[in-house]
Amino acid sequence: MQSSGIAPPVPVIDISALVSRRGDTADVMQTAAAIDDACRRTGFFAITGHGVDAALCVRLDALAREFFARPEEEKAAIAMTRGGRAWRGWFPLGGELTSGRPDQKEGIYFGAELPADDPRVRAGRPLHGPNLFPPRPAALRDTVLAYLDALTALGHAVLRGIALGLGLAPDWFVRNLTADPTILFRIFRYPPTSASDTGWGVAEHTDYGLLTILMHDGQGGLQVRANDGWVDVDVARDAFVCNLGDMIERMTGGRYRSTPHRVRNTSGRDRLSFPFFFDPSWDAEVLPVPGAQVTGTAQSRGTRWDDADVHALAGTYGDYLVSKVAKVFPDLGSDVL
């Protein structure tokens, strides 16, 4: 539940009632109301009581640091160019673009682990397939897969709260949009930069889908654009940061916000972040939720960072996602897709 007093730009909400499903109705509805308030104001909130094993998070952080410390030629053995249409693997510093400019980060892409004989993989569906895991550290594979399972369950729990906040049944999302969610997971390393450096670890952007759940290493650097300008996201290390994607803004007609955010690491040491993207099913058509009314064009609500209108989307979520990801890796997109 949200603390009393003036609400901070990124409130901290205890979601244990949603996770356990044992909280009484008052606890659940109070949690949903806090989430609804955060979604209306900034589209960002932090969560405690999420139930994800702290030891799993510590182990994932340590193994990721071990991987990133390996020689570049060793990391390149699982480069994204080897992942094919599954779009998995490692990319080097500067290998990902935001608004056409290279980011100051390196990272690894993961997704739901699917065998080569899965019908979706055999059909050549983009962003579906087996992950690429390095031989060292060997424990990274099982740790990532365990984390994917834990965060998938958590994503469903947070969406139950969002559904209740919108006045919908708690299972509305899973019945209509996320029965087979599109699961994408990234591990990013942001090397330190000087305060005078004009580049960004990742420049201003919004996320594509429904919900992002971010584990972080406790260092600063993440900023969100609030009503009165850019503010730092400063929460305890054991709290996950949640933010809404463009599809939630579209579905709610602008009632909820997909808020721009950015990262610059001036801490003097590596900063690791672990964004988990919980998105609509691949074949889903993302339509407004019951009772939603578009509150104006993107321009009338304020110009977006990319001049796009999230209400102009047509087609399935998969089609939309492929078009977006191809802009992040244009060379890979033209080769693979």
Residue 104 pLDDT:
94
Q: Give φ, ψ of 80 to 5 degrees.
A: -60, -30
Q: Enumerate the β-bridge partners of residue 202.
A: 263
Cβ atoms 210, 252 nearer than 8 A: no
* Model confidence at 2: pLDDT above 50: no
Residue 41 region, left (φ>0) first, then alpha (ψ -120 to 50), else beta?
alpha
**Position with higher pLDDT, 299 vs 52:** 52
Q: 196: pLDDT confidence band, cut at 50, 70 and 90?
A: confident
Q: What is the mean pLDDT of the chain?
A: 90
Cβ atoms 168, 290 nearer than 8 A: yes
Q: 7: pLDDT confidence band, cut at 50, 70 and 90?
A: low
What lies within 8 Å, CB to CB, of 333 at 6+ separation is 325, 326, 327
User: pLDDT tens across 60-107, in order?
Assistant: 999 999 999 999 999 999 999 999 999 999 999 999 988 788 999 999
* Model confidence at 304: pLDDT above 60: no
6 CB burial (10 A radius; 0-12, 13-18, 19+):
exposed
How far apart (Å, rounded) are the C-alpha atoms in residues 240 and 12? 9
DSSP code at position 312: G
Q: What is the 3-state secondary structure (H, E, C) of 47-97?
A: EECCCCCHHHHHHHHHHHHHHHCCCHHHHHHHEHHHCHHHCCEEECCCCCE
**Position with higher pLDDT, 189 vs 296:** 189
User: pLDDT tens across 245-298, in order?
Assistant: 999 999 999 999 899 999 999 989 999 999 999 999 999 999 889 887 665 544
258 CB burial (10 A radius; 0-12, 13-18, 19+):
buried
**Position with higher pLDDT, 162 vs 295:** 162
* Model confidence at 4: pLDDT above 70: no
Q: 305: pLDDT confidence band, cut at 50, 70 and 90?
A: low
Residue 206 pLDDT:
94
**Position with higher pLDDT, 50 vs 195:** 50
Residue 142 pLDDT:
98
Residue 24 pLDDT:
79
Q: 194: pLDDT confidence band, cut at 50, 70 and 90?
A: confident
* Angle in degrees, CA 41, 248, 24, rounded to 5: 75
User: pLDDT tens across 202-245, in order?
Assistant: 999 999 999 999 999 998 899 999 888 899 998 999 999 999 99
Residue 301 pLDDT:
44
Least confident stretch, 18-27, 150-159, 249-258? 18-27
**Position with higher pLDDT, 305 vs 241:** 241
Residue 298 pLDDT:
43
Cα R_g (the chain), whole angstroms: 19
Residue 306 pLDDT:
60
What lies within 8 Å, CB to CB, of 295 at 6+ separation is 253, 254, 255, 301
Instruction: State the average pLDDT over residues 181-186.
Output: 97
* Model confidence at 299: pLDDT above 60: no
Q: Indicate the pTM of the whole model.
A: 0.92
**Position with higher pLDDT, 72 vs 304:** 72
Least confident stretch, 20-34, 42-56, 108-122, 163-177? 20-34
